[in-house]
Structure 1
Amino acid sequence: MTIGKTHLLYAAKLFIASMFAFALAESIGLQNPYWAMVTCCVLSNPVSGAVRARATYRFCGTLFAGVLTLAISAFLSNTPELLIIAVGLSSSIMLGISFLDRTPRAYFFQLGAITMMLVAIAYINHPDTMFNMVVTRVTEICLGILSVTFVDSILFPSSLAPVLRKRLKGWLADLECWQEDSLDGKTGDVLAETDRIRLLTDIATFNQMMTTLGYDSSVDKTKRQAAVAIQQRVLLIVPLLSSIGSSITALPESLRTALAPWLANISMQARGERPEYGDLDADLPPVVQLSAWEKLIVDELTECVKHWLRLWGEVRRLNAFLEGESLPDSLYSEMMRSKVFSPPADTGMAIRMFAGILTTYTVLCCLWFLTGWEQGANMVLLGIVAIGFFGGGDNPGAAIATFGRFSLIAMSLGALLSYVLLPIAGDYGSFLIVMGIFLLPLGIWAATNPMATLVMALSLSNVNFQGHYAPNNMGLYLEGTTGTLIGVYCAFLCASLFRRWGTDHVLTRLIRKDAQEMLGLDRHVSERDLRRYQERALDRISALGTRLAALGQTDRSAQLLARLNTGINLIQLQCASECIRKTSPIAELLREFRQLPLNSETPAELLDKLNASLHYAWMKNAHELLYPLTRLRQHHFPQALQWSPEHDR
């Protein structure tokens, strides 16, 4: 690893904040001043906005957990068994909720649950001291929050603004390449499709950065709103580009030749600073030269292209606004009303995690109760940390095992600090030198590896820092290490009770979820349902694309966007055909398409049903039905012969 300026700066910030927090806590006379240091380690981040966001959520979570703990203990202090149950349920619910909120706000619930256990479980046998411990713990954590925020904001401020601009410029550059490929009819390239799924994943997870930007004072609200508005429009452009590319690829050769001047003009407009679409129709071939099917294709393609160009023009204007140009009043008003795309909650996952966390808690508490072990509280706490923070991935076993290894490293480093380095410190100056020797290398490591932050926090948590040197008994320290490993191992076992491990199993679950949602499109739907479906589908596509790449199945990426377009077309048909009889060809076609699995070929029989539906819509002169039907026929049967109406209207 090459050590650069950013690594050294991060380590210096962490060290200064930790020492400042410890000095404040010790001078006030707090019982465990090292907790202020631990808070500094947990909250440190290279970016100021991230520090402030995490500090806010940490403070609110700690305060909420403290109040809730006092409320529960006030009623159950004389019945420790019920207090243990109430704390376990409350903490498990909070950690389960954290999996519903896929933004940095989840930190509020995670830290609230852990703080609740730190106070309630550790002092379960001393209910008379519960109030003092809650106040002390909240004070220590708040000192750490204030210290790390002060050092970061006053001495070493940093901004996400350059990162934001770089990310947005990357989106626009990738979209321009995608647009050129779509207009040229270049589809089916596995590498290009993989890059597009990666782009979509980056766009869909933008809410993580936007939450942090809210705490970055160097990025004002208008710039944040411009970025959100760009994200909104890009997410709408993605299915349009996919549909346009598929339609152009499926064009008959004669029609593609006739549309060449029109497509060239579109490409030129898209590359311009202000894309326009008002004069594009002049380059279209004369209507009299087109068959009924060709006319439908051209009309549908023209509608999609105009919609795309309008959105792309707004994206370019919003990007220019970030560079200092002005915006039209109407677009500015829309921009200020924009809301960031938030990935939908995975309720099933949250329920599984809640069950796993509660089971881990129950097993460890029973073990603690049966043995009466002095380190039982530490065992319970570390087991919950292991499954609550590391058990939500595709392979929780590997993640929890990694946590266990780093916990062992942390305990070893804690022993080094407690029994080798700290005895050298005779005064505060030598103490600073010793802590610098310990914290600065770990801070440099933590700048590139988040697990190093865990190592610092755990090692400092197990060193009995006071105003004077008072190390724990070595036997007690080894017992604490054993309790940590037992808790982690129990979390490892319980994580497998309610979930199947591995990327392939997650992939299967996502595909099954996609099929269930497609089958659910048979009810009354509206434009709002269409937007919600697009949001859920885009989030699912990004999740599926990432896992397909991990399994080496990138050739299946093209199916994902095709599936999205099919779902959008089905919803548009459903919206337009609410008044259509249930026995109509369109109703039967919708039922057939909903039952198609993600990775299956379209049955040849559906072509006849598509043709019958087109004829039905043609006779009713219903363009809101004809256009999605045309797209479905082109995308699923690109090589089929031209459709022609049985009777002219």
Structure 2
Amino acid sequence: MHILKQLVAFRPSKLDWVFAIKTYIAAMLALFISFQLDLLNPIWSIGTVMIIANPYAGMLSSKALYRVAGTAIGAVVAVALMPHLINTPWLFASVISGWVGFCLYISLLDRTPRSYMLMLSGYTVAMIVFNAINTIDAHSIFDIALARFLEIGIAVICSAVVSAVILPAHIGPIIQQRVESNLTSLDELFKKILLTPHLKAPDYSQDVAVITRDMSELHSMAVHLWFENSDLKGMTKPVQEMLHQCAMAVTNLVAMSERLKQLQPEQGGALSQTLAQLSDDVLHFLHQNKTLKETELDALSDHFSDIFTQLKQQVDVEHLTVVSSFQMDLRHYIYNVHIVRFIWQGIQQGRKDFPENIVPLTTNYPSLHRDHGVAVRGGIAAVCSTFFAIAVWVLSGWKAGFMMAQMAAVCSCILTAIDNPIPALKIFFWGSISAFGIVFIYVFAIFPSISQFWQLALVLAPAVITFTLLIARPNLMALGLVLGVVSVMSMNLQNRYAIDAVSFFDADFAMILGVLCALVSLYFIRAMSPEETATRILQRHYRAMRKMVHTSYGVGFRVRLRGMIDRIGVLNSKLVQSKELKQAMHHALVETSATVDLSRIHELASSQLISPVLQQSLFELQTCCVSLFKELEKKGHVQTATHEALIRILKNAYVALKSEENSNIKQRTYMSLNNIQHSIFKQVGITHAHVEPSA
């Protein structure tokens, strides 16, 4: 019913029509060439055009390239495996289903467009060998593998050429617009934090969630810049590096908001005015130069020191540490924003290099969030679905059983990345049934009258263009893709076309059963609610926090922190309903902002300049923090013994600090303990009242 409402409300734009007509031209061109070359299954050419259809040239080209690569890998593996397995059906079923599951597992760990190649190499093997067995008397496995590669290659070339030549649309301007919007959001959030700290318990979690979620999406979108001719062509790594550095600024913002929350009891007219002045001055300082120079990255205005002198005069002694910590966070924020803007400035100027004083965080395989548990479950679901379909095919001797096995392998792969793929599979199921109705009309009422290719192209135009119009809209893309791909594939277009009603209904029924196999397998093995997925990500968060306890500040620390911010971006994309989980998701971001203080404590504990008593207290604090995060990871709550131990250790640390002679170390330790206590321990019920640091 929801889909029907969206269809009724659907009004295609001019860009949607351009995209649909371009896709139709590419589809007909690919089909015509396949007919001329007399390939075995020309339907794969037009089907591939529908599968890789995308309004943006770069995204289409990248998907096309990875599809060719995945098909090539699958074809080679199919040719290598099948001759040795054809006479051992159960070993055949085990190996093929195992290959599909293994490739899917690897693809789910790679959160880039490259994952499409890995997934495709899995089910391509299944499709080639199943077709080879079905036509074993007419064609060899090599002929089928070669034909499939050629059919895919023709479709890819036609799609890429048409997309690049006819009114090309690029992803570069979209990325540029979203990056600018992200930078503006940083400024707005900074201003909001400084201008509204007097509000009771101000909540900026939604604003930060939007920024972190956008950063995760932009990281994947940037990969497509390699494959287009926009102004940002080839800027994938610089854009991703800018996003890594932007993650540092986000943690600074969260840390500043937490410090200002601590100053709430101190809020008054004078303090609010000082913060408002600070906000205006910082934003003016950040934007005063249209062009940043490398020597200006770590520059600060002397005026900021005067403002903080005023702030310290407006708070009591107990909050001087908080103001000093806020000052340090602001300094880091200005520095990180300067780096982000400097890199973005270089990107727009066509520069791919970085200054020596900017340490790149980008690695060959970035430390972003990956869930091995989900990947394993997805792989197992694909194995079970494919194996069961093959088993039914083998035991029944059903000629159309190969179609059921194909659909089981394909469907269990293409929808596994979704947390709960069942709703999408239902759309696939009902969309497939609707597509068969459309195909029935074409096959038995229209195609018998077709004798020329131009006639075929003409009668296919309404269906192909309509389905592509749906693909152009995110909320209708799944339905459009199902209708388009299933329709053109079920038409089974050949140079020597023959109508066989029995085979038609047999194949359609087999395809429906294949979808059902995938649906059942995914439902019992892979499907997760958003709450369950969020809980798993939170467990990974606390595991990362545990590692941060003994991590020194440096490139390694910043790379790990980038991974944690990315994980929070993924976490914020989950539509959870539980208030407790929503609160835990917000706490995860606040806790992440305090990891730099965990790093400082680690460095101080290893220093020979502090007293043995303080050093021992910091060692005990680290050990207790590890226990804290381990309990939050495993049980979701903190045991009473750990809670009491934290309070005792904090009291001992503050007592040891009183007699610390080195004033610099004393101040740094006070700030880090304050930040950890307020940003991490407060979430488990430990407040300043428990330890009374000023006593």
Instruction: Please give the TM-score of this superposition, normalised by the length of structure 2.
Output: 0.83
Question: Number of aligned pairs?
Answer: 645
Q: 1: CA distance between counterparts of 2:103 and 2:503?
A: 31
Q: Is 1:563 the counterpart of 2:588 in the alignment?
A: no
Cα distance, 1:629 vs structure 2: 0.9
Q: Corresponding residue for 2:538?
A: 511
C-alpha deviation, 1:515, in angstroms: 3.9
Whether 1:436 aligns to 2:471 is no
- The 5-angstrom pairing of residues 159-558 of structure 1 reads 159-184=170-195, 186=197, 192-221=204-233, 223-251=235-263, 257=270, 261=274, 264-265=277-278, 267-272=280-285, 273-274=287-288, 276-279=299-302, 280-285=304-309, 293-321=318-346, 330=355, 343-448=368-473, 449-451=476-478, 452-471=480-499, 473-499=500-526, 501-519=528-546, 527=554, 530-549=557-576, 557-558=585-586
Partners of 1:394 and 1:506 within 8 A in 2: yes
Amino acid paired to 2:481 = T
Please, which runs of 5 or more residues in structure 1 have no aligned partner?
A: none
Between the aligned partners of 1:591 and 1:332, the Cα distance in structure 2 is 33
| Counterpart code for 2:162 | V
Report the counterpart of residue 42 of structure 1 in structure 2.
Answer: 51
Q: Which of 92, 97, 122 pairs up with 2:101? A: 92
Mark the CA change 1:338 to 1:103 in structure 2 (over 3 Å): closer, same or farther.
closer
Q: What is the CA deviation profile of residues 59-112 of structure 1, one whole-angstrom value per residue up to 9, with x for unaligned ones?
A: 111111111111223544554543443222222211111111111111101221
CA distance in 2, matches of 1:441, 1:267: 52
Residue of structure 2 in register with 1:614 after alignment: 654
Shift of 1:37: 0.9
- Give yes or no for contact 1:321–1:327 (8 Å, CA) kept in 2: yes
Letter in 2 for 1:281: S
Confirm or deny: 8 A CA contact 1:359 1:494 kept in the other structure.
yes
Q: CA deviation at 1:352?
A: 1.0
The answer on whether the counterparts of 2:401 and 2:510 sit within 8 Å (CA) in structure 1 is yes
CA deviation after TM superposition for structure 1 residue 317, in Å: 3.6
Question: Contact 1:417–1:438 (CA<8 Å) still a contact in 2?
Answer: no
Which amino acid in 2 is paired with 1:194? Q
Deviations 1:425-461 (A, max 9, x none): 2322222211113212222222222221232222222
Residues 206 and 339 of structure 1, relative CA distance in 2, 3 Å threshold: farther
Displacement of 1:511 in angstroms is 3.1
- Asked if the contact 1:17/1:148 (under 8 Å) is kept, the reply is yes
Would you say the 8 A contact 2:224–2:236 is kept in 1?
no
Q: Which residue of 1 aligns with 2:130?
A: 121
Which residue pairs with 1:112 in the alignment?
Answer: 121
**C-alpha deviations, 1:209-251, integer Å up to 9, x for none?**
1111221221345754553343122211111101111102212
Match of 1:65 among 74, 83, 108: 74
Between 1:143-152 and 1:540-549, the stretch displaced more is 540-549
Query: Is the contact made by 1:181 and 1:245 (CA closer than 8 Å) also made in structure 2?
Result: no
**Does the Cα contact within 8 Å between 2:55 and 2:169 map onto a contact in 1?**
yes
Q: 1:250 to 1:14 in 2, by over 3 A?
A: same
Which position in structure 1 is the counterpart of 2:5? Answer: none
Whether contact under 8 Å (2:79, 2:141) holds in the other structure is yes
2:387 is aligned with what amino acid?
Answer: T
Is the contact made by 2:551 and 2:599 (CA closer than 8 Å) also made in structure 1?
A: no
Partners of 1:23 and 1:551 in 2: how far apart? 54
Q: Deviations over 1:193-223 (max 9, x none)?
A: 2232122111122222111122122134575
Task: Using the TM superposition, give the Cα deviation of residue 146 of structure 1 relative to its aligned residue in structure 2, in angstroms.
Answer: 0.9
Q: Partners in 2 of 1:19 and 1:348 — Cα distance? A: 42
CA distance in 2, matches of 1:308, 1:148: 45
User: Residue type of the partner of 2:598?
Assistant: L
For 1:305 and 1:283, how far apart are their aligned partners in 2? 12
CA contact (8 A) 2:59 2:171 kept: no
Query: 2: CA distance between counterparts of 1:32 and 1:288?
Result: 77
Q: What is the distance in 2 between the residues matched to 1:291 and 1:588?
A: 33
Matches of 2:239 and 2:125 in 1, distance apart?
Answer: 37
Report how far residue 17 of structure 1 moved. Answer: 0.6
Counterpart residue type for residue 54 of structure 1: K
Deviations 1:354-380 (A, max 9, x none): 111111122112111111111111111
Cα distance, 1:584 vs. partner?
4.8
Of 133, 138, 146, the residue aligned with 1:135 is: 146
Q: 1:508 to 1:633 in 2, by over 3 A?
A: closer
SS in 2 for 1:597: helix
Identity %: 18
Return the letter of the residue paired with 1:268. D
- Pick one of 676, 687, 691 that aligns with 1:632: 676
Question: What is the alpha-carbon distance in structure 2 between the residues aligned to residue 625 and residue 230 of structure 1?
Answer: 31
Match of 2:611 in 1: none
- Cα drift, residue 54 of structure 1: 0.6
Q: Which runs of 5+ in 2 are unaligned?
A: 1-9, 290-298, 608-614
The amino acid across from 1:285 in the alignment is: T
- Kindly provide the amino acid, as one letter, of the partner of residue 478 in structure 1: F
Q: Tell me how far 1:336 sits from its aligned partner.
A: 11
